[in-house]
Amino acid sequence: MLLLKPSTKEKVKGILFKFSIIHIRNLSIYKKIILGFLIPLTLILFVSSFVYISIERLQETSRWVTHTHQVISDIQELKKLLLDMETGERGYLITGKESFLEPFHNSIRVWDIKLKNLKLLVSDNPSQVSLLNEVDELQKQWLKYAANVEIDTRRKVKQQHNNKTTMTDVIKLIENETGKNLIDRIREIGEKLILEERSLMSIRQDEAKTAVERTERTLILGTSIAILIAVFIAFIISSTIQKNLKSLLKGTDKIKQGNFDDDILVDSNDEFLLLANAFNSMTLSLKSSTEKMQLASQAKGEFLANMSHEIRTPLNGVLGMLTFLEDTKINDEQSSYINSIRSCCDGLLVVINDILDLSKLDAGMLSMEYIPFHLKNLIEETCHLLDSSISQKSLSLEYSIDNQIAQAFIGDRLRIRQILLNLLNNAIKFTDYGAIKLSIVVSSPHISSAGKKISTLSFQVKDQGIGISKDDKKKLFKPFSQVDASITRKFGGTGLGLIICSQLVKQMKGQMKVKSKLGEGSIFSFSIPLEHTELIAENIPMTQQEILADEQELASKYPLNILVAEDNNINQTIAKKIFAKLGYNIDIAKNGQKAVEALDNKSYDIIFMDMQMPVMDGVTATEIIMNKWQSNSPRIVAMTANVLPEDKEKCINAGMRGFIPKPINIANIIDIIKHKNRN
């Protein structure tokens, strides 16, 4: 027995300790993976080598078995040739016909070749070669002392007129058994050779069987050990990784829930510890940033909601009254004043919508509407809206459309018009003389993966305005920014337009570019992919007065009891007049509580509900009505200046089934009434 010195024993213990589970746990993930890979791989290589050697032995055994079968087959072939010789000779001796000697002579010719081949096969076995030499000698003796003598004697019998030989002489030769003894000895040697080959084949088959069993045992045992070791190491590694991952995931879940106070703890000294420490440090920074962001977002949301409501409410009154004022008898001068007022209101509404659009874009909540539209109609409509501005500055607005462009596409028509109006308004604003050119070109169409025909349209707005310096171009697409403070004083604007356009183009999977030199004008362009569609008929939008004139008999077609919950006196007046123009005599509730009380006294088909009202707001009133009247409750539609997405969501969650933003578009009210009648 080998005795180890104390120092050697300590080294062995140290090595064993290094490969203990604790040490494996503290290895880096890379080393854990390498360790888990190498140990099973080594065992598998050992098993594979053993299997390879066993297969080689089996192949060798298979070759020997094939060799034995060939030797036995050749011996049997020699025995058959011998039988053919003997049969041919006997046939001739009995009948005297030379035809019986054909197999005899044929077998003699083949015998030497077969015997020579068989000697080559058994050349590695001297005893078998010696026996085959004996067979060769015995065959020659049989031919010389038996077969040929008997055949010659039988030929003499056929020639009796020349000699006195008879069949008796032939029979005597046969009875001497000279040929029989030689043939029996040859057969005896053949059987001996066959028995010897079969014995060798049996031994080799037993060896092959043993090798197969040994290989199977080794393969099963080696593979099982490799799998067990791999599973064991994988279990240690995976349990460590899984435990640490759970700690990390648990930490991220806490952060998702707003808990930034708990640290992430891991039970190892590998990369997970570094990751946990980095994560804990990041959490502290994230906590501080989140608190600041939440305060800023809350303040921004409250400001936008209040600003939108406080501006839209009086703006709804102004635009509503303008609509009714336009219906009265006014002279041309008064009509001009009204148009100026409406233009100012529209401008103010654009600013409000720009701010809300920017907020939605920042939050990723602005959705696109993909509908068919005529490109040429869109361009002509956009240019028509700018006729007044162009005339005031004595400019010219020209547009050109590539002849290769299709007539109709699918896209967000209003957003494309919004981008074009913004770019063209900017061009008009900063150009004092000359022409403004709008050109649209198209790239070669292609087929998308969904099988749709797509073309990329490039819109370009070129002006002869003041231009932009290289440094100032960097400020263009930043919110609430102007390239120069003096520009704001001279030309006005919020600085929101271009950033909104840029974000809209990006959302439509396009890109916006600008080329400009100070004093030489600017070229703003954007490219967007659009899907081709068949030519469609577009409805020309009607003015508010045209809508009212067209729907004067609405109440007779759709008789309904209507309640409007509105606290603002001017908006109450506007609502009464709008519905009166449509033929309805509506009731007014000045707050949500009055609306609930009104339902106790009268049945209504539709309630148009403001959100922000004193005593009881519209959302609370809707919830009470839905709970109290349930399936028998009237259809409640929001009609409010609170137009943010979260405001609309509150209305829908409370049970409202429609949303009309202020300033009111009369077409929206008509759609609600017709929809109610269809239901």
Residue 265 lies in a domain: no
| 614/631 Cα distance (integer angstroms) | 27
Query: Mean pLDDT over all residues of the chain?
Result: 79
For residue 500, the domain's CATH number is 3.30.565.10
Residue 2 lies in a domain: no
Q: Could you tell me if 521 and 559 lie in one domain? A: no
- pLDDT tens per residue, range 272-308: 677 777 767 777 777 777 777 767 666 665 666 666 6
- pLDDT tens per residue, range 357-379: 656 656 555 677 888 889 888 89
**Boundary of a domain, candidates 221, 246, 273:** 221
Domain count, the chain: 3
Q: Could you tell me if 612 and 666 lie in one domain? A: yes
Exposed e or buried b per residue across 501-524, where buried means at least 16 C-beta atoms within 10 angstroms of its C-beta: bbbbbebbebebebebeeeebbeb
Residue 262 lies in a domain: no
Q: Flag whether pLDDT at 482 surpasses 60.
A: no
Q: Please say whether the beta carbons of 656 and 637 come within 8 A.
A: yes
Q: Could you tell me if 511 and 584 lie in one domain? A: no
Q: Report phi then psi at 660, rounded to 5.
A: -120, 115
Q: Could you tell me if 382 and 484 lie in one domain? A: yes
Q: Flag whether pLDDT at 18 surpasses 80.
A: no
Q: SS3 for 459-495, per residue?
A: EEEECCCCCCCCCHHHHCCCCCCCCCHHHHHHHCCCC
pLDDT of residue 594: 94
Residue 350 lies in a domain: no
Pairing of strands 606-609, 635-640: parallel
- pLDDT tens per residue, range 137-164: 888 888 888 888 888 888 887 776 556 7
- pLDDT tens per residue, range 154-192: 888 777 655 677 788 778 878 777 778 888 888 888 888
Question: pTM of the entire structure?
Answer: 0.47
End-to-end CA, the chain: 99
What is the domain extent for residue 409? 369-532
Q: Could you tell me if 511 and 580 lie in one domain? A: no
Q: Could you tell me if 74 and 152 lie in one domain? A: yes
pLDDT of residue 1: 37
pLDDT of residue 615: 93
| Length, in residues, of the chain | 679
Nearest to 458 by CA among 420, 429, 430, 497: 420
Q: Flag whether pLDDT at 485 surpasses 60.
A: no
**Boundary of a domain, candidates 191, 221, 251:** 221
Top-confidence residue, 77 or 278? 77
Distances (CA, A) of 143 to 179, 183, 298: 8, 10, 123
Lowest mean per-residue pLDDT among 53-57, 321-325, 353-357, 450-454: 353-357
Q: Could you tell me if 511 and 559 lie in one domain? A: no
**Boundary of a domain, candidates 162, 191, 221:** 221
| 679/669 Cα distance (integer angstroms) | 16
Q: Flag whether pLDDT at 230 surpasses 80.
A: no
Residue 249 lies in a domain: no
pLDDT of residue 564: 96
Interval 344-350 mean pLDDT: 65
pLDDT of residue 622: 95
pLDDT of residue 660: 92
Q: Report phi then psi at 639, rounded to 5.
A: -135, 90
Residue 283 lies in a domain: no
Q: Could you tell me if 487 and 634 lie in one domain? A: no
| 383/417 Cα distance (integer angstroms) | 10
How does DSSP classify residue 161? T
How does residue 457 score in pLDDT terms, banded at 50, 70 and 90? very high
Q: Could you tell me if 192 and 171 lie in one domain? A: yes
Helices 126-142, 102-121: axis angle to 10 degrees equals: 160
Q: Could you tell me if 612 and 519 lie in one domain? A: no
Q: Flag whether pLDDT at 131 surpasses 80.
A: yes
| 123/135 Cα distance (integer angstroms) | 15
Helices 271-326, 569-581: axis angle to 10 degrees equals: 60
How does residue 489 score in pLDDT terms, banded at 50, 70 and 90? very low
Residue 380 lies in a domain: yes
Q: Please say whether the beta carbons of 660 and 638 come within 8 A.
A: yes
Q: Could you tell me if 497 and 564 lie in one domain? A: no
Q: Report phi then psi at 373, rounded to 5.
A: -155, 155
Interval 116-138 mean pLDDT: 86
Residue 70 lies in a domain: yes
How does residue 620 score in pLDDT terms, banded at 50, 70 and 90? very high
pLDDT of residue 356: 64
Q: Could you tell me if 464 and 596 lie in one domain? A: no
- pLDDT tens per residue, range 549-566: 888 889 898 999 999 999
